[in-house]
Structure 1
Amino acid sequence: MERPDHILIVDDDPGIREMLTRYLERQGLRATGAADGREMRRVLARERVDLLVLDLMLPGEDGISLCRALRAPDQRFLPIVILSARSDEADRILGLELGADDYLSKPFAARELLARVHAVLRRTRMLPPPIAAETPLPMLCFGEWTLDTVARHLLDGAGTVVSLSGAEYRLLRVLLQHPQRILDRDQLLQLTQGRDADALDRSIDLLVSRVRQRLRDDPREPRYIKTVRSEGYVFCLPVRTGGAPAPAP
């Protein structure tokens, strides 16, 4: 029998923990509650957890600090959905930039949380495990370019900043995190926008064209992003992490 997904709920409100634990288990999941970071770490040390629902406002170490620690390079990748009464845009953006996969503000509907949990798990598992386990790093370097994942912009070989829209940045980051692997349109839409494609959806094709323009990539003979007929797209060059971009050939 297939093992149910194990969801760890870290929230200092016992009512929320009990409600979510009971609700998720009624939906066929396994759920465990933890009141703070210390209890969270005890559960993670002894059991396999598939996704973390993490409150920001916790006693002791807060959710932002825990999220940052869980995204350290030496940690196993764990999908994170932030659940918090702090609905300020700055908090939401900070949580997502630290590596959270989704953010839901309190008060919330349990059904919406369930839908987000399933969506995050689905996006995570669309790629083979070795790919899904990769952790974003501050600098992704390829050819003469560097993508700064903190400032969310490109730097060319001369150090000139090339601004990216939010959608352009998300697409390029996904491609760089999975170099030399073919990703189809469904995968790219799920990983960048959290939605499925329909038969007439060409938004990814338009976005790839815009990213190629930013990279000054010739679409007739692309160096960076190649189209694989009937399959999707592949980022061709190897990607390095950290440091300065390599000199142009």
Structure 2
Amino acid sequence: MRAKGKRILVVDDEEPIQRVLRKNLLAGGYDVFVAGDGREALEMVKLHQPDLILLDLCMPGELDGLDVCVEVRHRGQKPPIIVLSAMSEERQKVRALDLGADDYLTKPFGSEELMARVRACLRRSQSNEGEEIQQVPELLISEDGYLYMDLARRLVKAGNNEVRLTPTEFELLKQLMLCAGKVLTHRALLRAVWGPEYGEEADYLRVYVRQLRLKVEAKPSHPRYIITEPGIGYVFRGQVEVRNA
């Protein structure tokens, strides 16, 4: 992923963090814009059409990070959103992912980790655009018919209900269903979904699996499909039919 021409919006009310993020991103070749609160962030999104947003959750004023995330997605805008959160904000972090955020970084974080996450999100975004153009016609259907994925339309159903998944959740479920019956290690899943910069973030993967189960499993606390292999990874239980639309 080439940085040239990619626009990144940094949304954070703390000036020292703004400076550090801006410095690292400029050094990486990105065009950087900065907003200090939610209202300004939405104005900058409209004005600059960023390719990616780095979004702090806790900000002053009438709009916090969650509000910004909701409004960006409500407008139909699709830039990847990486949430910046403190360790104590676990509920907000999970809520942000459910509202359409694509990734998260827990403060404090290192510059190398930041840049790796930015590259991975931009790469996934570009890949998703390519899939929409190509209109891949495959359907993935669990053997009992409960789970249904239309890869071309990026449509998922659990039972008779359409399920709204974030791009990351969609890719994670796709990888699991494509390899149904096969145990996928943490490293394999992380690299397949997030990119080669990942591989050791097992705790990070667990957050997304938990969110995915809440959306596609009838009983998330007793999953039927997405099964944990302790210390190894995850497996999609049962067979999956792969066919053309």
Give the TM-score normalised by the residue count of structure 1.
0.57
Q: Match for 1:79: what amino acid? A: P
Structure-1 residue corresponding to 2:42: 41
Give the deviation of 1:105 after TM superposition. 1.2
Q: Match for 1:63: what amino acid? A: G
Q: Match for 1:69: what amino acid? A: E
Distance in 1 between the 2:197 and 2:10 partners? 27
Distance in 1 between the 2:192 and 2:66 partners? 22
Distance in 1 between the 2:96 and 2:70 partners? 9
What SS does the aligned partner of 1:71 have? helix
Structure-2 residue corresponding to 1:22: 23
Distance in 2 between the 1:3 and 1:126 partners? 17
Structure-1 residue corresponding to 2:72: 70
Give the deviation of 1:127 after TM superposition. 3.5
Q: Match for 2:49: what amino acid? A: R
Q: Is the 8 A contact 2:80 2:121 kept in 1?
A: yes
| RMSD, aligned α-carbons | 4.2
Cα 1:168–1:45 shift into 2, 3 Å: closer
Task: Determine what percentage of the aligned residue pairs are the same residue.
Answer: 33
Aligned residues between the structures: 181
Q: Is the 8 A contact 1:81 1:100 kept in 2?
A: yes
1:216-243 per-position Cα deviation (integer Å, ceiling 9, x unaligned): 54xxxxxx42xxxxxxxxxx465xxxxx
Cα 1:146–1:71 shift into 2, 3 Å: farther
Cα 1:130–1:88 shift into 2, 3 Å: same
Correspondence list, 1:82-231, <5 A: 82-129=83-130, 131=132, 145=146, 155-156=158-159, 171-172=172-173, 192-195=193-196, 211=236, 214=238, 217=240, 224-225=241-242
Give the deviation of 1:87 after TM superposition. 4.2
Structure-2 residue corresponding to 1:244: none
Distance in 1 between the 2:125 and 2:175 partners? 12
Of Structure 1 and Structure 2, which has the larger fraction of its residues in helix? Answer: 2
Give the deviation of 1:174 after TM superposition. 7.2
Cα 1:127–1:155 shift into 2, 3 Å: closer
Structure-2 residue corresponding to 1:55: 56
* Structure 1 unaligned spans of 5+: 133-140, 160-166, 177-187, 198-206, 218-223, 226-235, 239-249
Q: Match for 1:62: what amino acid? A: D
Instruction: Return the index of the structure with the highest Cα Rg.
Output: 1
Distance in 2 between the 1:86 and 1:189 partners? 21
Cα 1:37–1:5 shift into 2, 3 Å: same
What SS does the aligned partner of 1:57 have? coil
Q: Is the 8 A contact 1:123 1:190 kept in 2?
A: no
Give the deviation of 1:101 after TM superposition. 1.4
* Structure 2 unaligned spans of 5+: 134-140, 150-155, 162-167, 178-188, 199-226, 228-234
Note if 1:13 corresponds to 2:14: yes
Give the TM-score normalised by the residue count of structure 2.
0.58
1:51-86 per-position Cα deviation (integer Å, ceiling 9, x unaligned): 0000000112111121122222x4121101111225
Distance in 2 between the 1:47 and 1:175 partners? 36
